Chain A
Amino acid sequence: MNNLPERAERYYRLYEENIKKIAENSAPFINSFREDAIAGFLKTGIPTKKNESYRYTNLDAFFNHDYNSYFIPGPSDFLKAEDFRCDVTDLDAYGVVLLNGFYPTINGELRELPEGIRIGSLNEAANRFGDKVEKHYGKCINGNPDGLVCLNTAMASDGVFIYVPEGAVLKRPVQVVNLVDSETDMFSQHRNLIVVEDNADFTIIICDHALSPVKFLTNAVTEVYVGENASFDIMRVQNEHNNACKITHTFIHQERNSRVSSNNITLHGGLVRNSTYHYLGGEGAESNSYGLFLADKWQHVDNYVSVDHAFPNCTSNQLFKGVLDEMATGAFNGRIYVHKDAQGTVAYQKNNNILLTDDAKMDTKPQLEIYADDVKCSHGATVGRLNDDALFYMQSRGINKREALLMLMFGFAHEVIRNIKVEALQERMDNLVMQRLRGELSRCASCMVKCDKLH
């Protein structure tokens, strides 16, 4: 391993030292992916700016660091998780709390929700619900060469598994709260698998919180399979702290006539990278990918979106927005790939950003590869300031400048938030964004865990 850069070697060493322990506690099927995955990781390592899709993001500050790693949780670890209460009070959801990437498995049973929906630990599901896991685990990733996806496959051993059977319609969403909590700096990885069968309708909300002020590095992979004519909604709300690095990779595979909406709201985090891959794998599929981030201080938020139009007559829409204050930096990289046979494709992409200071910086890059000829495609990106004409218009009605600026920023953000279909969550997000814009939102404001060391 002499050729490996230092930081890749660090993670390879972590693998070598712990793989035995990880494997002993993991389902054999999940273990069967590990060798190939670590080989894949050794090929690519931790992405650098030389990787096209990480061109604007420097991972060094979080990856060149020694972390305590967390592989096997004990029952006491989950007590804190049980204490956690989401403060979106009107949110009528089935709640699940993950601690450091592990599902709090008490007796290994998968929880059963109405309409035969199963939810539980991925690792336990691989043992007890093998056929469903085996059919989809590792499939949506589809050989993705990203070193961090490989590293996750090589070492992650748990996360949430959700199975929504054919035709099942769950009116209430499922809310998964990912908590990270540690006395010392911690690196963790988890892996989710969501299977939504034909004609089903399912909504999931994923909230990321950090409970302790130490340095966190989280590398999470979520695979989603959406069957024919099924509907799937995923919302991710990231509210961690400046010492937390969150890297998520979400792979959504869609079958014919399915509808997917993904919404990523990043309120707080030191370094955040969200990669969302939409694979339109059947005629008539529709995908909507939304994202919003608010960043200040030295924060960096990078959204990478890839939409793969592999079949004819599919529709996709991307809308990503960012508000950058102080020295914050951001990146957007939106890829649309239209295969030769994907005639009748409609694909839109929009990325708008507002820089509130001269020091804030945003890089945005559309990447369109179109090999079909009957295609309707558009993309547009803006990086700028708030509209002076709109500001004057509001002032001319008697609204003072500060309030007008806030309303404009809020309006800018609301264009993404209004796509959240769960009403209580939409209201809550509007509120959080307003508080964040007013500078009133500390990370403790939305954290219900009673701890005394965070003040």
Chain B
Amino acid sequence: MLIIKDLKAAINGKQILKGISLEVKAGEIHAIMGPNGSGKSTLAGVLAGREFAEVTEGTVTYLGKNLFDMAPEDRSKEGIFLGFQYPIEIPGVSMVNFMKTAYNEHRRHKGLEPISASDFLKLMREKKELVEIDSKLTNRSVNEGFSGGEKKKNEIFQMAILEPRLAILDETDSGLDIDALRIVANGVNKLKRPDNAAIVITHYQRLLDYIVPDVVHVLYDGRIVKTAGKELALELEEKGYEWIKEHV
């Protein structure tokens, strides 16, 4: 589904990603772990098409296409979803209008007619239950006045509506209490299908108690320094990132 080859990227001339290679197949969940500043969020941003980083080398192929030929909105419509570490507040734009516009763009891309207002509300209701999000929140402006936990739940809610093929969750667990963490993880697990995949980026192991990864990568100083099964996360938790540094 996603093949990353020797990806290098810089922000303001400073090299952040120093050659990343990685392949994600349908049905897999990959966890990317690493200390602060290792390049986790840069990788997520580059995959979603954020312009802050400049790709200096390497290729990313998504479903057989060159990802870098696609605008962010086209990546979304082709099934890539980025769950933001810091979801953005958009005052004056209602959640309903925001999601309905996005959903219909996706439908149009598939050659489908726009969804009716009542069907969309039904869909929203259904997905709201999945992530246990407060009904009132979806009547408000996008993320405006949401608590940290509500913002993260809202990311999963949006993901549930758009049903991506490849979800990239950037530190969705940061700042969550254990209940919210469970709800977020539960949402991710319920949306899992044999034909989709997820990249879960996290600093801590605890999210991986709830979302069980098939593969764990450790990112350190812009490179993947270790790849193994889910047991790597536990080992990392136990020994800390210092242990990784010794292996570099």
Contact = CB atoms under 8 A, between A and B. Distances in A.
A393 B50 CA distance: 9
A438 to B, nearest CB: 14
A417 to B, nearest CB: 9
B105 A400 contact: yes
A410 interface: yes
A395 B73 contact: yes
B152 interface: no
B84 A393 contact: yes
Interface stretch (B92-100, B116-124, B171-179): B92-100
Interface residues of B, number: 32
A404 to B, nearest CB: 8
Nearest to B79: A398
Contacts of A398: 73, 76-77, 102, 105-106, 109, 162
A367 B106 CA distance: 48
Interface residues of A, number: 24
B91 interface: yes
Tell me whether chain A's interface is mostly helix, strand or loop, or mixed: helix
B158 interface: yes
Given A393-B87, A396-B82, A413 B92 contact: yes
Given A401-B71, A403-B101, A411-B141, A396 B92 contact: no
B98 A389 contact: no
A401 B72 CA distance: 9
Contact of A408 (B73, B76, B90): B90
A385 B101 CA distance: 23
Interface string A366-393: 0000000000000000000001011011
A396 B49 contact: yes
Interface in A417-448: 418
Contact of B72 (A387, A395, A403, A411): A395
A415 B72 CA distance: 27
Contacts of A396: 48-50, 72-73, 75-76, 81-82, 84
A414 interface: yes
B150 to A, nearest CB: 16
A194 B97 CA distance: 39
A399 B136 CA distance: 24
A407 interface: yes
Given A392-B49, A394-B98, 6 more contacts: A392-B50, A394-B102, A395-B71, A396-B48, A396-B72, A408-B90
Interface of A: 387, 389-390, 392-401, 403-404, 407-408, 410-415, 418
